[in-house]
Structure formats: structure tokens, C-alpha cells
Chain A
Amino acid sequence: MTYQPYRPSKIYIEKRILNHPVTQRILAKLPTLSPIIFNDLSKFIMENSSIHQNNVPNNKPLVLAYQKGEFLKRCPGTQNYICCGYQILNLVNNCEINCSYCILQGYFNSPFIIVYGNIEDMFVELEEKISRQPDKIFRIGTGELADSLSTDHFTQYSSQLVSFFADKQNAIIELKTKSTLIENFVNLNHKGRTVVAWSLNTPKIISTEESSAPTLEERLAAAEKCQHAGFKLAFHFDPMIYYDSWEQDYHFVVQKIFEKIKPKNIIWISLGALRYPPHLDQIIRQNHPDSKIVYGELFPGKDGKLRYFKPIRIKMFGKMNQWIKQLAPDVFVYLCMESSEVWHKSFSWTPKSSIGLKRLMDKLI
């Protein structure tokens, strides 16, 4: 199935943001929708969530809102495992791609895609935080609570972000996506401060668990275009799913990457195995009855999340690292939310702590 970018069925706008240029820009891109105005975001979500519960994911209603809190936050990571010290830029909340394993199903109890419109406040906050600590490296991403680019065809936020970060000496922005919507920024002067990252999986997992997302070929074709435009690239194999032909299939994906992408253009590759909080188990079974991912050998980890049994993770990470290093010995490969023991048993080395990993990754900037 060809990738169909997100098309909201309705648009709701918080009154405070109604006359904002971003709102007008988005409305111009969605001319068939009549905006419905509301006063308060949390009250609106509470009162309207139930009527939209059965919306088709790719037509989730869009909400344009005013971000009252901070845009930039530390990635919460997970307790008792090594994390990379990432920072999250909270511009869009929720995702329409509807992957079976998606943590957002249990995280946002709302059927809306929320886009914050007061982007000028975000840039003021970023400027202040980044310039206040010139010796600190900021690795910032917009792809934790949303797909970084899947709403970009009408928000056009990517172009503003790429331009803003182009002049930053101690910060980079990582646009993490499964989409192919790169048109708004691919021709901009990024000065090497934007990393464009694709979340990848095997063709089998893409077709069964990420069925509304672009295919592997489409994602790699978009990555290749960004490579030509001189962007740094990253790939995230997260979540890796364990199934009968996983070895052959993930090896195939690694080979496919390096058929199109030169190792020197890849800043990092991350690996993470399927994991989710226990309450998501029932949500996955309910929302994705055909998915088999819940039938893995999953057990509670030290953070309480269900994870593959440790020897399975070690085997998957070890093999992936080996395949990547065979083709790209210098590419930095890291594990997302894993213990020092798993690092060591998979890679024969460990950053020992979250601080250790952050230091290593900061050096790549």
C-alpha cells in the first residue's frame, strides 16, 4: 500500500491561537476543513475524547493549541538502564501511523493529534537554554511523542527547525520519522546541525505492525535524498521484534541501508528491543488483534516494563552490531534503554552509565 500522509477529519483550534500565523498557514493547507474553536485544551480533551475514539487513525482530528509549559524537556528514559541524555522538543503530541507496538497508545489517553502553534515561544526558550550553557551539547529530538515529520506537510515546522539549528554550535536537532515528507527542508542550508533519522524495521514487521507507514524502500529512498543534500543521517532499529526469520530479515535491512547510504554520512544507529509498560499489553491486544508481538518471551525488566528475555536481546543486538560493523566499522551503534551487562554481552564493551553514553554521543556532534 502506498503511503498516505495524515489527513485530519476535523480541525479544532484553541481560541488563544486562532489568529496566529502558524494557524493561518495550517488552515490554508487544509482548506476543506471548517475550524471549530474551543477555549481550554485540557477541558476540550476531557469533553471530546470519547466521541472520536473510533476515528480511523490516519484521519485523527487535529487540534491546534497553545503550549503553556516548557517545550524542551529531558527524555525520561527509563529507570535502572543506560540512557543517552537526549532532550525532547514537545511540538506535536501523538501519532496517526498506528503501529501496533506504539507506546503512545497508552501514553496519550486522547484520539487527537495536538500541534502547538506558538512556535516563536519555543525558539525563545531554545535560544535561552542553549546559549546559557555554551559548553553543554544539546541533542534534541522531536520524534519521541510524535513522528517528527508526519504532520510536516501542513505544519512546515521542519524548515523553521533546520534553519534555527543551522547556526547553533552546541546543539543539533534530530528529526526522527517513518515518513517520507522531506520536501520542506531538504534544500535548506542546514550547516550539518540537523540529523535526519529513520526508524526502520524488516519488511515483514513493516507490513504487519506498521502497515500505515511507508515501506522500507520508500524510507531509504527519502534517506538517500537527504544524503545527497548533505544531511547527517541516523537509523533507529527500535523496536526490534523477535520472530522466526528475524536474523535473515534484519540482516537484509542492514545490507539495504549500505547499498544506498555511505557509512560516513551516518552519525549513529540505535538498537532497542520491543518493550512496553504492562498496561499496554491489553491495549495492543485490543487495538491490534492480529498482531503477534505480545506473544514473545516478554518478562518484567528492572524498570517494570515488559521486555524480551535477556538472552534473546543479547543475541539480537550482538548479531545486528556484527552485521553493521562488517559494512560500516566506524559507525557508532548504541543501545536504547539497556543495562551495562547487556551492552557488554552484546558489544563486548559498555559505556557503563548514562553519563558515559552521553559523553560518547556528544563527541559525535
Chain B
Amino acid sequence: MNKSKEMKIHLDQIDVNDRSYIFTFELPLSQLINSIKNIGILHSPILEQKNNGTFRIVSGLKRILALRHLKIDQISSQVYYSTSQEPTLELFLLNFYENIGTRHLNEIEKSMVLYKLIELFHVSEDRVISEFLPLLELGSNEVVLSRYLKLVKLEDNIKIAIVEDFISIDNAVALLERSQIERRTIFNLFHQLKSGKNRQKELLRLLQELSEINAQSIDQILQNNEIQDVLANNKITLPQKAERIKEVLMKMRYPLFTKIEKDFQNLKKDLKLPPNIILRPPPFFEGDKYTIEFSFKNQSEFKKFTGILSSIADQNCLAKLESLA
């Protein structure tokens, strides 16, 4: 690596659009601006002088942006001189090691690091997997690398949602299988429902599968009247809305199963069992054995419940269970 020199650089000479070495995501500047106002810059940014005389930021993007905001026009910097016009792996790694030594990189920053190592600095995938994935505290294998490389392609609002832990990496990667318009639609739905990651996963899978089965876009599926009614209903909570939308999608995805399940619920209703007596079908109606379960406090309650069970033994609706599925 070339030797560096400490020197004062005019901010206008710094090319803030050349972010070859930068992988910082999220730029909350307000706290940094306050800090600079009070105590100034503690660590000088690192710059690289390009052939055309301007400077490329190696590290310190946020500090430079904060200074511009404060209308300060010069900064003392550590400057490296480049012999080529292209950014170098050495200086990228300088920024990388400085960052991982001082803070935790978020998932999008990790994806940016991996993407730049491979695409910009042409580091082999094998080296990235064995050397850099462990440094980023990620599993050292191709699958992990492939997942993280995909994240770079996401829109900024979804990247922010990953950083804020609103959406999981798996769900975000699954969103990438849809068009940009559909990604926006699905993401807006998640936001509107404020749904958790597991619920998002369920809804996403149902929407994707229905789209394949019916050759419909996600927008077309969500235009379903029942779904629109649920979304417009202001009398129910957001988790209730999410649950009801899932039910509507399940009905579309598994029409026969949901019909039989509904028939079972109706039969159960007709039996008028008290809440202490629970009637359960076999899992997914696969077997032919139903289960009755009840809890009791004492002998008299036991007699009461067994009496109820005896009284329903001859009812027609109980016989109907046999032919339900």
C-alpha cells in the first residue's frame, strides 16, 4: 500500500458520489452533526487522490456529509495517492477492517461488502466464502453468499425494513422472485397490516402459490372482494385483519380442505358442546378417528359431561362426521 499523508482538503475537491469503497447503509446524520458542533472531528477521514485531482472517500462519508451540512469547507484528512484510476482492494479492505473492528455491520452493509468484493474487486467466491463470510459472522457456504448477494438488488425501503428487523432476509429474498410492482404491493400490505415475520411468510407463500395456480398477479389476487372488505374494515384490529386475510387466501389455495373444515365447525356447532368438551378431527382429516377431550373438577362435573356425551351419541350430526372426509 502507498504511504499516506495528513493534509487539509477542501470539501469541494471530494467526490461524494464516488462510493466505490463505501458500504455504509443508513445515514442518520443529526447526532453526528451535534457531536461535530460540540467537539469537532476526532478521527480524520481517509481519502484517495484520483488522477484527475479529486478525492475518493475511503472512509468517513458520514463525517464529510455532516461537515458539508455545517458549511465547513476544509477537513484534515489522511490521503493516499492512487497510481491507477480504479479503486483498489487494499483501500476497500482498509475501510472494511476499520469498520468491523469498531462496530457491527447491519445485514445490508454485509451484503454490500460481499457484492463489492466480488463484483468490483473481483475477489474469488471461494475466498469470499472462506475468508470474509466468517469475518462478517455469517455461515461459510455458497447458500449464504448467494442470499446476501441478492439483497443488494432490493429497493431501499425494503433494505431499511431488513435493517429495522421488520422483514426477514428469507422473506426479502422471496420477494425478489416477484416483479418490482408486486414487491411494492406485497411490502405495502405487510406495512399496512404491521404483520410479524412469520405472518409475512405465510401470506407471501399463499400469494405466490395462488399467483402460480391461477396465473394472476398479486394485485389481481388482492383485489378479491373479501380481502378488500377486510382491509377496509376499521372495526377489527390489525392482527385480526391479517388473520382474516390469511383465511381468505387459504380458502382460495385449499378450497376443498377449507370447505370440509367449515362443515366440521358447523357440525360441531350443532352438537352444542360446552367449552370444556373439545371435539377434534384427525390431523388434516387424514385418519378416521375423532377425539373428544374434556376436563372436570369433581365427580358431579364428570357425571354432567358424560351425560352430555351420552345424549349426543345418537344425534344425526355425530353420524355425519363419518362421511365428512
**Chain A interface residues (CB < 8 Å from chain B):** 292, 295, 297, 299-302, 307, 309-312, 339, 341
Contacts and interface: CB of A to CB of B under 8 A. Distances in A.
A302 B286 contact: yes
Interface in B229-268: 254-257, 260
A109 B13 CA distance: 58
A341 B287 contact: yes
B256 A309 contact: yes
Contact of A302 (B257, B260, B287, B325): B287
Contacts of B255: 297
B130 to A, nearest CB: 16
A309 B257 contact: yes
Given A297-B254, A299-B257, 19 more contacts: A295-B212, A297-B256, A299-B284, A299-B286, A300-B284, A302-B286, A307-B286, A309-B284, A309-B285, A309-B325, A310-B284, A311-B256, A311-B260, A311-B285, A311-B325, A339-B286, A339-B287, A339-B288, A341-B288
A297 B288 contact: no
Given A297-B256, A299-B257, A309-B257, A292 B213 contact: yes
A307 B286 CA distance: 9
Contacts of B257: 297, 299, 309
Contacts of A312: 256
**What interface size band does chain B fall in?**
10 to 19
Contacts of B254: 297, 309
A81 to B, nearest CB: 10
Nearest to A308: B256
A309 B255 CA distance: 11
A302 B288 CA distance: 11
- Highest count of chain A CB atoms <10 Å: which of B213, B260, B288: B288
B15 interface: no
9 contacts: A295-B213, A297-B255, A297-B256, A299-B284, A309-B254, A310-B284, A311-B260, A311-B285, A311-B325
Interface in B191-218: 209, 212-213
A307 B325 CA distance: 14
Contact of B212 (A292, A297, A341): A292
B283 interface: yes
Nearest to A307: B286
B286 A301 contact: yes
Contacts of A307: 286
B285 A310 contact: yes
B325 A310 contact: yes
A300 B283 contact: yes
A211 to B, nearest CB: 19
Contacts of A299: 257, 284, 286
Contacts of B288: 339, 341
A339 B288 CA distance: 10
